[in-house]
């Protein structure tokens, strides 16, 4: 049986700026994205049976799973005859966490299908298929450090950011992305990251400037979650993080460290209080 296993890396937002609501209901964003070593493992195997069977730990493997939607989108867009597929996902990235876990699985599924069925398919075509599955999927196909614009699908690959250790800490609840966007529309946002400064910091490899420009507009429009998110941020900063912010629509908060021992100490300090704490690094 032909099969491929690929890592599906989580992402964080070094910056997230909301430019405005569009006629199609989506929002124009400007985000500097960074992949981290926390990852799911996605195995795609060609099978003799019909249809797509997806196992994804506690998460349903039905049509709501972005990996299944990605497989269907791949067959539809490439004209490859749909064949039997088994998609097995070893899940480590928390769901509804702002780390694009579902999108990462979808992107890994697309890359695995290309390897198994259509190795000549260019990256750009794969990212375009991903855009129909979800706004973060094209970035997850690309990975690394990148500027994402438009809905999130317009990508500019960037020089790799300087190497940071990352402590990720997710409180025990999820956040609804559409609800946060709705609140941003109602109230407007006052946090506006300096994306240009972040791009310069990445381009010149200036770790201090990178830390100084970490910012996420969504922190402005948190509802009931606000106190819990800001409490983690304050603890990370007290635990010597050089920068800390929520990623995506949250609620996960990340802290950046150049000092590995400090990162480990922060991880050890937070873990007893937050079961979903991870010690990772930029990839
Ligand atoms: O594209 P995706 O399905 O991941 O988006 C989930 C939801 O997030 C959308 O239905 C929309 O409400 C919101 N969204 C948005 N603008 C974006 C990305 C997502 O309003 N750029």
Residues 53-108 have pLDDT tens digits of: 999 999 999 999 999 999 999 999 999 888 899 999 999 999 999 999 999 999 99
> pLDDT tens-digit profile of 212-230?
999 999 998 998 999 999 9
Q: Work out which ligand 1 atom sits closest to the CA atom of 21.
A: 20
Residue whose structure tokens are 């569009």 = 22
Instruction: Mark whether 11 is an active-site residue.
Output: yes
Region 251-280: what's the mean pLDDT? 98
Contacts of 231 (CB under 8 A, 6+ apart): none
- Choose, from 40, 105, 136, 220, the residue flagged as catalytic: 136
Q: Work out which ligand 1 atom sits closest to the CA atom of 29.
A: 21
Instruction: Give 266's pLDDT tier (boundaries 50, 70, 90).
Output: very high
Q: CB–CB of 10/101 below 8 Å? A: yes
Residue 23 CA: distances (Å) to CA of 28, 118, 150, 254: 10, 35, 13, 32
Instruction: Give 1's pLDDT tier (boundaries 50, 70, 90).
Output: confident
> Is the predicted pLDDT of residue 203 greater than 80, yes or no?
yes
Q: CB–CB of 199/173 below 8 Å? A: no
Q: Is the CB of 181 under 6 A from ligand 1?
A: yes
Which residue has the CA at smallest separation from atom 8 of ligand 1?
178
pTM value surpassing 0.85: yes
Instruction: Give 209's pLDDT tier (boundaries 50, 70, 90).
Output: very high
Euclidean distance between CA atoms 212 and 203, whole angstroms: 15
Instruction: Mark whether 62 is an active-site residue.
Output: no
Question: In this predicted structure, what is the pLDDT of residue 164?
Answer: 98
User: What are 245's strand-pairing partners?
Assistant: 254
Q: Where are the alpha helices (DSSP H) in the chain?
A: 66-78, 101-117, 123-133, 137-142, 177-187, 195-204, 207-212, 226-238, 260-270
Q: How far is the CA of 24 from the centre of ligand 1 (A)?
A: 10
Contacts of 24 (CB under 8 A, 6+ apart): none
In three-state secondary structure terms, 220 is helix
Q: Is the CB of 151 under 6 A from ligand 1?
A: yes
Question: In this predicted structure, what is the pLDDT of residue 50?
Answer: 85
């Amino acid at each position: 049986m032909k099969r491929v296993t690929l890592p599906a890396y989580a992402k964080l937002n070094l910056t997230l700026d909301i430019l405005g609501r569009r006629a199609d209901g989506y929002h124009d964003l400007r985000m500097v994205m960074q992949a981290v070593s926390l990852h799911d493992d996605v195995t795609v195997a060609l099978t003799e049976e019909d249809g797509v069977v997806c196992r994804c730990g506690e998460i349903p493997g039905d049509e709501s799973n972005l990996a299944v939607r990605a497989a269907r989108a791949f067959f539809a867009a490439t004209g490859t005859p749909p064949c039997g597929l088994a998609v097995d996902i070893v899940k480590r990235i928390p769901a509804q966490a702002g780390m694009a876990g579902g999108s990462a699985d979808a992107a890994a599924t697309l890359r695995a299908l290309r390897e198994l069925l259509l190795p000549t398919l260019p990256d750009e075509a794969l990212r375009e298929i991903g855009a129909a599955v979800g706004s973060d999927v094209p970035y997850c196909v690309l990975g690394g450090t990148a500027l994402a614009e438009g809905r999130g699908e317009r990508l500019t690959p960037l020089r790799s950011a300087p190497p940071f250790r990352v402590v990720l800490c997710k409180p025990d609840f999820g956040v609804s992305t559409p609800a946060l966007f709705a609140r941003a529309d109602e109230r407007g946002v006052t946090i506006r990251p300096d994306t240009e400064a972040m791009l310069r910091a990445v381009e010149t490899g200036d770790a201090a400037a990178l830390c100084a420009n970490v910012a996420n507009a969504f922190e402005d429009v948190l509802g009931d979650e606000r106190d819990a998110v800001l409490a983690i941020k304050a603890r990370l900063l007290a635990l010597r993080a050089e920068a800390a912010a929520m990623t995506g629509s949250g609620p996960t908060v990340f802290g950046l460290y150049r000092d590995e021992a400090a990162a480990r100490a922060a991880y050890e300090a937070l873990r007893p209080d937050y079961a979903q704490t991870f010690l990772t690094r930029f990839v």
